[in-house]
Amino acid sequence: MEPSGFRMGYAGMSDQGPVLQSEFEAGHTPPPRISDARPPHGAPHDIFFAAVKTTRMPMTVTDPHRPDNPIIFCNEAFTFMTGYTEDEIVGSNCRFLQGPETDREVIGQVAAAIAAREEVAVEVLNYRKNGSTFWNALFVSPVFDEEGKLLYYFGSQLDISRRREAEEALHEAQKMEAVGKLTGGIAHDFNNLLQVILGYVDILEARVDDGNKGARRAVEAIATAAARGATLTQQLLAFARKQELRDRLLNFNSLVTDFRPILDRTAGDVVLRRQLEENLWNCRIDPVQAEMALLNIIGNARDALDGQGCISLRTRNVILPDGDPQAASKLDPGEYVAVTVTDDGPGMDAAVIDKVFDPFFTTKEMGKGTGLGLAMVYGFMRQSGGLATARNGDDGGAIFTLYFPRATGAVAAKPTPALPRTNDGGRERVLMVEDQADVGELGREMLRDLGYDVVLANSGRAALDLLQNDASFRLLFTDILMPGMNGVALANAVRRDYPHTAVLLTTGFADAAIDEGARSYELIRKPYRRAELNEKIRAVLDKPGART
């Protein structure tokens, strides 16, 4: 409802009293700011202006009869929200709040409504005087006099940045939950299928004659396709934050230094420069996943440069909030280790920046990218308690930053490599537990090929029954996800009742509760290769202090 003063033709105030609309349209001296107006006591609009001036909701009035429809009134709430003074606001068109990321289609809706003299309600990204952004719930309404003549446009505003952030967080959580359910549902069965394929590939590879080049090419092609499928599943798990993380305390500078040959190889012909802060704080992360995240970002930067240019890798200590508004809005204030990868390429389009971490989004040609690399990076960082951000540099190029929470404690010294030892004649006894018959048969075949004496059980209860009659097994090798007693419960029972038997777990599924229970045991994730399995078994059985 319009205030009665407006309906009566009120057009402004002067020190002498109201300025009538007819005087204004005749080109007489324009009225001063409404905020300076002193309407006669008891006038119908008196209460309205007093209320508008003191209300906490930001409000403006514009004059469509002046060139460019300028603001002629704003209240203190509007100046507080935008950071501008009243003198800077009055006389300007509302577009001074717009910026490079303001949606032009939304602005077009407002312009069309004003041209049609209609009400409009939109949500638009605006900019404060200090350059920061805020989401503005804007309602604009024309104000007419009793005869239907247009007097002003009245605008009310509301900073809804917190609500938008909450909605985005909820949307992200729902997306994570949906992808997590989808991925978790297929990961176990899919990885079991890949395990069978890759396992028999290894067995065939060992039996195909070197001279049979056609058969070897076929085996290699099968292995490559299956490995790509395994990587795809792992990337989905990472994005959905369903992967099992084996974090430890480390210094990221050491990780970069140890990983240098692989980083240089990933950069290819592009120059990779490092700028590592000397007294970098420690952080607690999964080093394997951190290396993969770094490789993904550097690989994307290399592709953006098309083989020519420079990539900079920098580590530094930061205390949030700092100059990155994305990090400040999504991370708690505190101390973080920031790892920044910058390239001197063309940068990213504004539309790309908003979607760069979305699953299956890619700007690469068909067949050259799954769109899961950066999604995996984002999922890993959130699961690690940190954040990945992407933006364009002021001088061009893309800037990706990984924020890891600072951790306290001393980094463990690198272990001295143990001398290789034999596997006791190759006849160590292994109790393998697997509820999937095809995966169990494959595992038994692989272990026998490796020289182990294998007994296969199809459930945790069956495994305990076997141990009651024969407890001479050196190793329990069990799947985690099984009907009835799961692998973690079985491992706990074996640790309690048969302490001489070492434990190695395996799974193609990820679940937070199961992963937490499995942390005290060695784990090999499906699908695993023959050599990887043997290496893991030897690490369990030959490590210092292993049960014998």
Q: Cis (ω within 30 of 0) for the bond into 527?
A: yes
| Greater pLDDT, 396 or 273 | 273
Residue 437: count of CB within 10 angstroms of its CB: 10
From first CA to last CA, the distance across the chain in angstroms is 86
Residue 416: count of CB within 10 angstroms of its CB: 7
H or E element in which residue 253 lies: helix 252-258
Tell me: the pLDDT tens digits for 164-208?
A: 877 877 776 676 666 666 666 667 677 788 888 888 888 888 788
Residue 78 pLDDT > 70: yes
Decide if 246 contacts 385 (C-beta within 8 A).
no
pLDDT score, position 105: 92
Residue 515 pLDDT > 70: no
Residue 502 pLDDT > 80: yes
Q: Which of 231, 420, 386, 246 is nearest to 318 (CA)?
A: 386
Place of tokens 């230094």: 257
Give 254-293 as a DSSP string: HHHHHTHHHHHHHHTTSEEEEEE-TTPPEEEE-HHHHHHH
pLDDT score, position 137: 93
pLDDT score, position 3: 38
Going by the DSSP 8-state scheme, the letter that residue 311 receives in this structure is: E
Mean pLDDT of the 368-389 span: 77
* 310-320 and 133-144 beta bridge pairing: unpaired
Residue 108 pLDDT > 70: yes
| Positions of E strands within 145-270 | 150-156, 248-251
Mean pLDDT of the 323-341 span: 85
Q: Alpha carbon of 524 to those of 72, 225, 247, 536: distances in Å?
A: 70, 21, 15, 7
Percent of the chain with pLDDT over 90: 33
User: What is the 3-state secondary structure of 178-192?
Assistant: HHHHHHHHHHHHHHH
| Greater pLDDT, 104 or 246 | 104
Contacts for 206 with CB less than 8 Å, ≥ 6 apart: 449, 530
What's the pTM? 0.46
Q: How far apart are CA 9 and CA 21, in angstroms?
A: 6
pLDDT score, position 48: 63
Task: Note every long-range contact of 285-290, with CB atoms under 8 Å and residues 24 or more positions apart, other chains counting.
Answer: 285/245, 285/247, 285/248, 285/250, 285/384, 285/404, 286/245, 286/246, 286/247, 286/248, 286/380, 286/384, 287/248, 287/250, 287/255, 288/246, 289/238, 289/243, 289/245, 289/380, 289/384, 290/252, 290/255, 290/380
pLDDT score, position 266: 85
Mean pLDDT of the 68-83 span: 92
Tell me: the pLDDT tens digits for 35-46?
A: 343 343 444 455
Q: How far apart are CA 255 and CA 234, in angstroms?
A: 22
pLDDT score, position 463: 94
Q: How far apart are CA 534 and CA 420, in angstroms?
A: 13
Residue 247 pLDDT > 80: no
Dihedral in degrees, nearest 10, Cα atoms 305, 310, 311, 316: -150
Residues forming beta bridges with residue 272, ordered by sequence position = 311
Mean pLDDT of the 102-127 span: 93
Residue 121 pLDDT > 80: yes
* 429-433 and 475-479 beta bridge pairing: parallel
When pLDDT is cut at 50, 70 and 90, the band that residue 516 belongs to is low
Least confident of 9-18, 76-85, 351-360, 445-454: 9-18
When pLDDT is cut at 50, 70 and 90, the band that residue 66 belongs to is very high
Is the four-CA dihedral 198, 199, 202, 205 of positive or negative sign? Answer: negative
Maximum Cα–Cα distance across the chain: 109
Residue 276 pLDDT > 80: yes
Mean pLDDT of the 135-148 span: 91
Q: For residue 10, how far is the Cα from the chain centroid?
A: 53
Least confident of 91-100, 197-206, 270-279, 412-421: 412-421
Mean pLDDT of the 365-380 span: 66
Residue 365 pLDDT > 70: no
Residue 15 pLDDT > 60: no
Decide if 526 contacts 509 (C-beta within 8 A).
no
Least confident of 59-63, 288-292, 395-399, 445-449: 288-292
The top-scoring range by mean pLDDT among 383-397, 407-421, 499-513 is: 383-397
Output the CA angle 477-227-296, nearest 5 degrees.
110
pLDDT score, position 335: 92
Residue 14 pLDDT > 80: no
Which residue ranges form the domains of the chain, and what is each CATH number?
A: 4-159 (3.30.450.20), 164-239 (1.10.287.130), 248-405 (3.30.565.10), 424-542 (3.40.50.2300)
Mean pLDDT (the chain) is 79
Tell me: the pLDDT tens digits for 474-483?
A: 999 999 888 8
| Greater pLDDT, 434 or 224 | 434
Going by the DSSP 8-state scheme, the letter that residue 393 receives in this structure is: -
Decide if 109 contacts 121 (C-beta within 8 A).
no
pLDDT score, position 64: 93
Task: Note every long-range contact of 421-427, with CB atoms under 8 Å and residues 24 or more positions apart, other chains counting.
Answer: 421/542, 423/451, 423/452, 423/538, 423/541, 426/450, 426/451, 426/452, 427/451, 427/452, 427/453
Q: How far apart are CA 115 and CA 152, in angstroms?
A: 13
Q: Which of 435, 379, 387, 402 is nearest to 234 (CA)?
A: 379
Percent of the chain with pLDDT over 70: 76
| Greater pLDDT, 346 or 322 | 346
Half-sphere exposure in the Cβ direction for 270 (13 Å, CA): 26
pLDDT score, position 23: 33
Is the four-CA dihedral 84, 86, 87, 91 of positive or negative sign? Answer: positive
| Both structure tokens of 242 | 């369903």
Residue 370 pLDDT > 90: no
Q: Lay out the sheet containing 310-320: strands in order across.
A: 271-276, 310-320, 334-343, 398-405, 387-392
pLDDT score, position 232: 67
pLDDT score, position 420: 41
Q: Alpha carbon of 367 to those of 119, 294, 363, 407: distances in Å?
A: 48, 22, 11, 40
